[in-house]
Amino acid sequence: MQSDATTVSQYLAELPADRRAALEAVRRTILANLPTGYEEAMNWGMITYQVPLARYPDTYNGQPLAYAALASQKNHMAVYLTGIYMDDEARQRFEAAYRATGRATCPKDGGAMVLTPVVSGST
C-alpha cells in the first residue's frame, strides 16, 4: 500500500507496532551501512535510499536514483534492493548467499527471486 507520508517519521508512525518494529530494525541496518552520498527520503510512497538530485541531476525521469527502499505493503513488508542490479556478479553472489539461508525460492521460469523475510517471529 502506497503511503502519502512526506517524512520517514510520519510513515513509520502510520504503521502497526509489529510492522514498525520490523521496518525500524532493517532501517537501522541500512543506515549503518549506507554509502556516503546517499540519502534517506520518502519517494514513491515508501522509505527510499537514493542518490540525491543535487549530486546526480541527469536522470532519465528527473527523479533521484533509487538504491534501496523499505515498504509495508498490504500483505507483506518489502526491502527493494535496486542497487543489486547494477552489478551482475554482486547480484549473483547475493542470490547465492540468500538461497543458502533456506529462506528463498526462485521460479524455474527465470522469474524474480522471492525472498522470505528473516524477522523475529516471522513465519
**pLDDT tens, per residue, the chain with 123 residues:** 678 999 999 999 999 999 999 999 999 999 999 989 999 999 999 999 999 999 999 989 999 998 899 999 988 888 888 878 788 898 888 888 888 887 666 555 455 555 544 443 443
Alpha-carbon gap, residue 101 to 44, rounded angstroms: 30
73: nearest Cα among 21, 9, 10, 19 = 19
Q: What is the pLDDT of residue 119?
A: 42
- Answer yes or no: do 9 and 41 share one domain: yes
pLDDT for 115 equals 52
**Does residue 27 sit in the same domain as residue 75?**
yes
Within this chain, do residues 81 and 95 fall inside the same structural domain, yes or no? no
Task: Give the three-class secondary structure for 12.
Answer: helix
Residue span of the structural domain in which 112 resides: 87-123
Residue 73 sits in the same domain as residue 102: no
Q: From CA 42, how far away is CA 45, in angstroms rounded?
A: 6
Q: How far apart are CA 74 and CA 46, in angstroms?
A: 13
> What's the number of domains the chain is made of?
2
Residues 35 and 70 in one domain: yes
pTM, entire model:
0.74
Q: Are residues 51 and 6 in the same domain?
A: yes
Alpha-carbon span 94 to 22, nearest angstrom: 21
Same domain, 57 and 79: yes
